[in-house]
Amino acid sequence: MQASNTLISLLSAIAVLAGLGVGFGALLGFVSERFKVKGNPLVEKIDALLPQTQCGQCGYPGCRPYAEAINEGDAINKCPPGGESTIAALADLLGREPEPLDGESQAEERVAVIREDECIGCTKCIQACPVDAIIGAAKQMHTVIEDECTGCDLCIAPCPVDCIDMLPRSTPLTQWQPVVNASTADLIASDRAEEPPHVARV
């Protein structure tokens, strides 16, 4: 009698635990299917920090492939359009040491401009443009849509008549940035300039 009671309680315990195991297993399986994260979220985050000029100066065909390469362990200092600030942001995200930029940084934003009377209409630049910012047809003049151009330079090399220039981009007045004077608060009195720099004089 007692033996059968022990057996029953033993069996019931096993049954309950097995049932719980199956139940939670099913739940986990369902959740992992239902809330599956597609792709690697870290690649997305790296891609978001890159400037998306798609210029290929890093040696990869676009920003997304470079983001994937960084995730695989490639260096984070290969993006000249992003400059030091992008390197700092990437180092912060990935917990790596910031490295000096590999290549020359660009001082100002630039935009491609086609000298239209010299264009022969070969469409080579149209095929090279990574963001479809050049319009035109075969044997017709081409031109660059300024707002869409990322200033990547990729159209310069294919042009057989060298009629594309990279010019500084005109910034609208609404994007004007105030000229910041260094704060004098931390200077001792003898090092200060005579007059506070922010007072405008007529």
Partner 1 sequence: MSRAFDFPGGVYPPERKTRSTERPLSDTPLPDRVVLPLSQHSGRPAVPCVAVGEQVHTGTLIAQPDNMISSALHASISGKVVEINTAHIIIEKDTGNAGDKKDTETRLKPLDWRAAEPETLLERLDTSGVVGLGGAGFPTQVKARVRERHSLDTLVVNAAECEPYITADDVTLRHFAADVLEGAQLMAKLAGAEQILVGIEDNKPEAIAALEAAVPKSLPLPVVINVIETRYPSGGERQLIKKLLDREVPSGGLPADVGVLCHNPGTLSAVLHAVRDGAPLTSRIVTLTGNALARPGNYRVRLGTPMRELLQHAGLNAAKLTTLIHGGPMMGVALTDLDTPVGKTTNCLIAATADELPAAPTESPCIRCGACEDVCPASLLPQQLHWYARAGDDARLERYHLFDCIECGACSYVCPSHIPLVDDYREAKARLRLKRIEATKAEHAKHRFEFRQARLAREEAEKQARREARLAQAKRPSQAEENDGASNQADIRSLRIAQTAAKAAVRKAEKTLARAAQQDPQQDLSDLETQLATAQENLKAADAKLSAARKPSTS
Residues in contact with partner 1 by CB under 8 A are: 47, 50-54, 62-64, 130-133, 148, 150, 173, 175-178, 180, 183-186, 192, 195-196, 198-202
Closest to partner 1 by CB, 100 vs 178, is 178
What is the distance between the alpha carbons of residues 152 and 56, in angstroms, rounded to a whole number? Answer: 8
Question: How far is C-alpha 199 from the geometric centre of its chain's CA atoms?
Answer: 40
DSSP run (H or E) holding 146: none
Tell me the longest C-alpha to C-alpha distance in the chain. 108
**Which C-beta is closer to partner 1: that of 34 or that of 201?**
201
DSSP secondary structure letter of residue 190: G
Is 163 annotated in a binding site? The answer is no
Least CB distance to partner 1 at residue 129 (A): 8
129 is in an annotated binding site: yes
Cα–Cα distance measured from residue 43 to residue 35, given in angstroms and rounded to the nearest whole number = 19
CA distances to 31, 67, 190 from 18, in Å: 20, 45, 81
Residue 58 assigned as binding residue:
yes
Taking the complex as a whole, how short is the minimal distance between the CB of residue 183 and partner 1, in angstroms? 7
Query: What residues are designated binding site for [4Fe-4S] cluster?
Result: 55, 58, 63, 79, 119, 122, 125, 129, 149, 152, 155, 159
